[in-house]
Structures are given as structure tokens and as C-alpha cells.
């Protein structure tokens, strides 16, 4: 493998790179060659996981959020992700734009209208009338629970773990580095490399599902605008085109490509949101902005522990509503954990733990709240709160990706705005793809700097090919098939992220953190090291 890597001009760990690439190719061949049996296997796996382990997903994410709040407010909050003299490389605005566009932009565009309307039309709680005031409030609370603090806790925990162990212990930028407290030097051996290969594969599948969702929405938008059929092969063509755009950004690198796309992306998304705020019922939305904070605050604790445990007595053949919503969300989001963790660590060196948790956890969650208020409440008002439904809920019942465009049809200049929305989704697609490609390359090389262009292009093309394969595998089932795949892939990665929390606890407990009265953090000059432990070696690279 070493010789082959040299011949190809690669700068990476050949074992991680070739094993990851080889297994990905095997999965692709199997997916395309045995579509029916593999689809059935994923369906059975998803049913077993949601029935028997759905409670574990819900409890796990809630425990991660509680842990992050504790560590940020504890004495460890002043520790820097890096040496004590390090300072952030990016401004707060660029930092926020990069983490947002790389993390959840596609998700908000897809679900910003679709999720509130779905719960509004089909309330998950017994006794709640569809389209009622109570249904609208529940819909907003559930949407914010799914895509607010809990989602960002799934990103923040691995990001904090990577930033802490990679920069304070001077370890390679790999997932295995997080487990140094348990494995010690074995992170550089077969055990560590196995963890890294698994993380790369999970990341590729997680990103592919997101690209599949984004592609479905772009196809729906083009169908509404131009009459292009909403079918499998147009989606494959869209993935091919946008993968080419993402690859061009990959070649430009993190500072030029990803940062520029991220800044452009967030500006266009904010522009869409402001348009809806101004063109819609502005006073109603401003009032709901304040009220929705209270709804979220009142719902977050009970929802954090709600397991839909009574569903077995009311639903037939399933675990209930949460199997298709909460468990799917957590399983899908956690597949992004290795990618987002390394990406966040890469752009956050020099920030304190408190700054990191506050920025990554709170700021995007606050933006998500504003987004759902503007789009979600506008959609529910259009469909008629206290009425019997309208054009948007009808569109969602027919095709979830159509929700955003059915929504824009109710506004002035609908065709123009829908066209802009398609561009925004496409840019989010490209940003997610090029960010993930750069990170996967880092996971393979262990280096915080971008590797040779050919490596990054390979991973970018691989993500597009995998996303196209999942679209073909899903066929007309589309979203349901993607949910089945990602739930099964998400379980082992969920266990991996859970272990990261305990690794962080062990690492932090070994820190010599002086009390502020004795030695304020700003006066420290030496890099803190875990007590009674010598610095580990940085690990070999090829």
C-alpha cells in the first residue's frame, strides 16, 4: 500500500485511504447489484433499531447536551483548543458562516416549511386537532427541538473532542485521536486505523443522504419552474452537475473555496428569510418570534425525554411517530459527527472551550429558531390556523420536497423567488460536499492542511457517486429509502460519539487547571498537559 500511494502521488495514510476507498466501492457495487435484497435488509434493520433502541438515541443526545452545558460553564471552559497563546484564525462572522453552511443549511432549506406543516396537518400527540392553534404550537416546538440545540449538540461534542485532543495533545487529525485516553499508542495501530476507516465510511454515507435530500428538493423546484419530471434520472443528472461544481470548490481549498461559498450562501439564505418576513405578515411573525422562544423553552425538557412509549398500544407494526422523525434525525445527524467534528476543530483552533460551545451550540440554534419562525409560522398561517388545511399541506402530502416551492407560490414574484431558492439549495449542496471532501481527506492523512488536489477530488467524486447510488437504490420510494439506510449506518457511529464524551471527561480530569484566584488563565504561558502523563508522539504519516 505504501508503494502504491507513492506511485499515485498521494500524501495520506495508505491503509486508511485504500481500505476506505475499497470498502466504499464494494458497498456501491452491492447497492447497485442487489437493490431489492439490500433495500429489504436496510428496512428490517431500521425497524429493529427504532423498535428496540429508539429510546437510546433520544436519551443519548439529551445527555450530550447536558454534558456540553456543564463543561462550558465549568472551570474547564477557559481552556483553549490549542496552546494558550493561540488565537482564532477566522473572524466570528466567517466562522459562523462556515459552520452553518457546512452543517445544516441544506436541512433548513428542506425542512423549514415541510416539518412544521407536517406536524400541523398530522399532530403526533393524541387528542390534538389538525390545523388547530394547539397543533401549530406543538408543530413549532417539535421542529425547534429537532433542529435546535439537540442537533447542534451532536456536532459540538465531537468538534470539542477533536479540538481538545488534536491541538492540546499534538495528535493527528483523525477520529482515533479522540480515544487516546483509552488506547494510548494503539491509536497509531490497527485498532486506531479501523476506527478511522469506519468514520470515513460513515461520513460518506451521511453526506450522501443529505445530498440526496438536497437533490430531491432541487428536482422538485425545477419541476415547479420548468416542468422537468420529478424522477430518478433527473436527480442523478443534478447530482452529477453539482458534484462538478463542488469539485471546483474543492480544488480552491478551505480558505478560498469553502469560505467564499459559505459567505455567499448564508447571505442568500438570509435574503430569502428577510423577503418572507417583509412580504408576509410581519407583525404576526415578530410577535411569534418572541412567543416561540417561550414555546421552545417550555417544550424542550419534556420533548428531550419523550419516547413515544405508548405507541405500541395505538400503532400497528411500528414504534410510532418518532421512528420516522426523531430517531431518523438523530441517526442521520450523527453520521455527520466525524465530518463536522474535524471541520469545526479545523476552523476553531485558538478558541476557548466556552467560546467554542457557545458559538457552535447556541448561535446556530438561535438562527434556526428565527428561520423556523419566519418560514414555519408563515406556512401555517397561509394554510389557515383553525381551518382545515391549504395548498402547502396538500403539497407536503403529495411530495415533501415540494413544500418550499408551494410556499413561495403564495408570495409575489413566486417564480423568481423559487429560482433563487433552487440556487441557494444548490450552493448548500456544493458547500456540504466540498467541506466533507476536505475533511475526509484530513481523516485519512491525519494532517490539518489540505492534501494533494487529486485526493480531495477523489473524495468529492465519491460522495456524488454514492449519493446518486442511494437515489437509484431508493427509486420512487426516495426519502423513505434514505431514512432506512441512514438509521442503520447511524447506530454504530452513535456509539462512537457516546464514547467521545467519556474520553473528554478523562482528558479534562487530567488537566492542571489553576483556580482563577491563584493563576488567571491569561497569565499562563506553558501549554497545560494531563497530569502524570507524558506527551504522546504525533503519529506517523505517509
Helical packing angle, 453-474 and 14-33, nearest 10° = 20
Check residue 102 and give its pLDDT: 53
Q: For 335-394, write each residue's pLDDT tens digit.
A: 888 888 888 888 888 899 999 999 888 888 888 999 999 999 999 999 999 888 889 999
Q: How is domain 15-511 classified at the CATH fold level?
A: Amino acid/polyamine transporter I (1.20.1740)
User: Residue 31 pLDDT > 80, yes or no?
Assistant: no
User: Residue 438 pLDDT > 90, yes or no?
Assistant: no
Q: Which of 23, 13, 198 is nearest to 1 (CA)?
A: 13
User: Residue 315 pLDDT > 60, yes or no?
Assistant: no
Rg of the Cα atoms in the chain: 23
Check residue 529 and give its pLDDT: 46
Q: For 195-237, write each residue's pLDDT tens digit.
A: 999 888 888 887 787 777 778 878 888 887 888 887 888 888 8
Check residue 541 and give its pLDDT: 36
Task: Provide the pLDDT confidence category of residue 259 given band limits of 50, 70 and 90.
Answer: low
Buried b / exposed e over 507-518, threshold 16 CB at 10 Å, is bbeeeebeeeee
User: Residue 533 pLDDT > 60, yes or no?
Assistant: no
Q: For 142-166, write each residue's pLDDT tens digit.
A: 999 999 999 999 999 999 999 999 9
Check residue 499 and give its pLDDT: 94
User: Residue 479 pLDDT > 80, yes or no?
Assistant: no
Least confident of 93-107, 265-279, 366-380: 93-107
Q: Which of 23, 40, 48, 33 is nearest to 327 (CA)?
A: 48
Share of the chain above pLDDT 90, in %: 33
SS3 of 326-360: the string is HHHHHHHHHCCHHHHHHHHHHHCCCCEHHHHHHHH
Domain ranges of the chain: 15-511
Q: For 455-469, write each residue's pLDDT tens digit.
A: 888 888 888 888 888
Check residue 382 and give its pLDDT: 94
For residues 151 and 145, what is the distance between their CA atoms, to the nearest angstrom? Answer: 8
DSSP code, position 87: -
Check residue 253 and give its pLDDT: 54
Q: How far is CA 344 from CA 75, 95, 350, in A?
A: 22, 9, 12
Check residue 475 and give its pLDDT: 60
Buried b / exposed e over 211-249, threshold 16 CB at 10 Å, is bbbbbbbbbbbbbbbeebebebebbbebbeebbebbbeb
Which backbone phi and psi does 312 adopt, to 5 degrees?
-65, -20
Check residue 539 and give its pLDDT: 37
User: Residue 401 pLDDT > 90, yes or no?
Assistant: no
Check residue 130 and give its pLDDT: 93
User: Residue 58 pLDDT > 80, yes or no?
Assistant: yes
Check residue 469 and give its pLDDT: 80
Mean pLDDT score, 473-487: 64
Task: Provide the pLDDT confidence category of residue 248 given band limits of 50, 70 and 90.
Answer: confident
pTM (two decimals): 0.84
Check residue 524 and give its pLDDT: 42
For residues 436 and 246, what is the distance between their CA atoms, to the nearest angstrom? Answer: 10
Taking phi over 0 as left and psi of -120 to 50 as alpha, with beta for the rest, 315 belongs to beta
Least confident of 155-169, 294-308, 476-490, 524-538: 524-538
Check residue 410 and give its pLDDT: 93
Check residue 309 and give its pLDDT: 78
SS3 of 160-214: the string is HHHHHHHHHCCCCCCHHHHHHHHHHHHHHCHHHHHHHHHHHHHHHHHHHHHHHHH
Q: Is 540 exposed, middle or buried (0-12, 13-18, 19+ CB in 10 A)?
A: exposed
Q: For 83-99, write each residue's pLDDT tens digit.
A: 877 888 787 777 876 66
Check residue 252 and give its pLDDT: 63
User: Residue 111 pLDDT > 60, yes or no?
Assistant: yes
Q: How far is CA 326 from CA 145, 150, 249, 297, in A?
A: 9, 11, 33, 18
Q: Are 357 and 156 in contact (CB under 8 A)?
A: yes
* Cell numbers placing 235: 436527480
For the beta carbon of residue 310, count every other beta carbon within 10 angstroms: 10
Q: Are 17 and 10 in contact (CB under 8 A)?
A: yes
Mean pLDDT score, 97-102: 62
Check residue 338 and give its pLDDT: 85
Check residue 457 and give its pLDDT: 85
Mean pLDDT score, 174-189: 91
DSSP code, position 85: T
Task: Look over the chain and give the mean of its residue pLDDT values, rounded to a whole number.
Answer: 82
Amino acid at each position: 500500500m505504501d508503494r502504491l500511494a507513492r506511485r499515485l502521488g498521494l500524501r495520506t495514510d495508505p491503509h486508511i485511504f485504500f481500505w476506505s476507498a475499497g470498502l466504499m466501492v464494494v458497498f456501491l457495487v452491492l447497492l447497485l447489484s442487489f437493490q431489492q435484497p439490500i433495500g429489504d435488509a436496510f428496512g428490517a434493520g431500521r425497524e429493529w433499531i427504532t423498535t428496540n433502541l429508539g429510546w437510546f438515541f433520544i436519551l443519548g443526545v439529551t445527555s450530550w447536551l447536558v454534558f456540553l452545558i456543564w463543561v462550558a460553564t465549568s472551570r474547564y471552559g477557559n481552556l483553549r483548543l490549542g496552546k494558550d497563546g493561540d488565537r482564532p484564525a477566522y473572524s466570528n462572522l466567517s466562522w459562523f458562516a462556515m459552520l452553518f453552511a457546512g452543517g445544516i443549511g441544506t436541512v433548513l432549506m428542506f425542512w423549514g416549511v415541510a416539518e412544521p406543516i407536517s406536524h400541523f396537518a398530522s399532530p403526533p400527540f393524541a387528542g390534538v386537532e389538525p390545523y388547530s392553534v394547539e397543533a401549530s404550537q406543538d408543530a413549532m416546538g417539535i421542529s425547534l427541538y429537532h433542529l435546535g440545540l439537540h442537533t447542534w449538540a451532536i456536532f459540538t461534542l465531537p468538534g470539542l473532542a477533536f479540538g481538545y485532543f488534536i491541538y492540546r495533545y499534538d495528535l493527528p487529525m483523525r477520529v482515533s485521536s479522540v480515544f487516546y485516553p483509552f488506547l494510548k499508542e494503539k491509536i497509531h495501530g490497527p485498532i486506531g486505523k479501523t476506527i478511522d476507516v469506519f468514520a470515513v465510511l460513515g461520513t460518506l454515507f451521511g453526506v450522501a443522504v443529505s445530498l440526496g435530500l438536497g437533490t430531491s428538493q432541487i428536482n422538485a423546484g425545477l419541476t415547479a419552474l420548468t416542468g422537468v419530471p420529478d424522477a430518478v434520472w433527473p436527480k442523478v443528472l443534478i447530482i452529477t452537475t453539482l458534484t462538478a461544481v463542488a469539485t471546483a470548490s474543492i480544488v480552491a481549498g478551505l480558505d478560498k473555496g469553502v469560505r467564499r461559498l459559505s459567505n455567499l450562501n448564508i447571505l442568500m439564505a438570509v435574503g430569502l428569510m428577510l423577503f418572507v418576513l417583509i412580504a408576509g405578515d410581519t407583525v404576526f411573525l415578530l410577535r411569534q418570534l418572541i412567543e416561540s422562544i417561550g414555546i421552545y423553552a417550555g417544550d424542550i425538557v419534556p420533548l428531550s425525554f419523550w419516547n413515544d412509549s405508548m405507541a405500541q398500544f395505538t400503532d400497528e407494526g411500528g414504534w410510532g411517530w418518532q421512528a420516522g422523525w426523531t430517531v431518523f434525525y438523530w441517526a442521520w445527524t450523527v453520521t455527520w459527527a466525524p465530518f463536522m467534528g474535524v471541520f469545526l476543530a479545523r476552523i476553531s483552533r485558538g478558541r476557548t472551550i466556552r467560546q467554542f460551545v457557545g458559538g457552535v451550540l447556541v448561535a446556530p440554534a438561535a438562527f434556526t429558531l428565527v428561520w423556523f419562525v419566519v418560514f414555519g409560522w408563515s406556512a401555517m398561517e397561509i394554510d389557515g390556523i383553525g381551518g382545515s388545511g391549504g395548498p402547502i399541506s396538500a403539497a407536503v402530502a403529495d411530495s415533501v420536497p415540494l413544500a418550499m416551492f408551494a410556499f413561495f407560490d403564495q408570495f409575489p414574484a413566486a417564480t423568481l423567488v423559487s429560482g433563487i431558492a433552487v440556487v441557494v439549495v444548490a450552493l448548500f449542496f456544493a458547500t456540504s460536499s466540498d467541506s466533507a471532501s476536505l475533511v475526509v481527506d484530513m481523516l485519512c492523512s491525519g494532517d490539518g492542511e489540505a492534501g494533494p488536489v487529486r485526493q480531495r477530488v477523489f473524495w468529492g467524486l465519491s460522495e456524488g457517486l454514492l449519493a446518486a447510488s442511494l437515489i437509484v437504490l431508493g427509486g420512487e420510494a426516495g426519502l423513505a429509502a434514505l431514512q432506512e439506510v441512514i438509521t442503520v449506518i447511524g447506530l454504530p457511529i452513535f456509539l462512537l460519539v457516546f464514547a467521545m464524551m467519556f474520553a473528554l471527561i478523562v482528558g479534562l480530569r487530567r488537566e492542571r487547571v489553576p483556580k482563577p484566584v491563584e493563576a488567571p488563565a491569561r497569565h499562563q504561558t506553558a501549554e497545560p498537559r494531563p497530569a502524570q502523563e507524558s506527551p504522546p508522539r504525533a503519529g506517523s504519516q505517509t
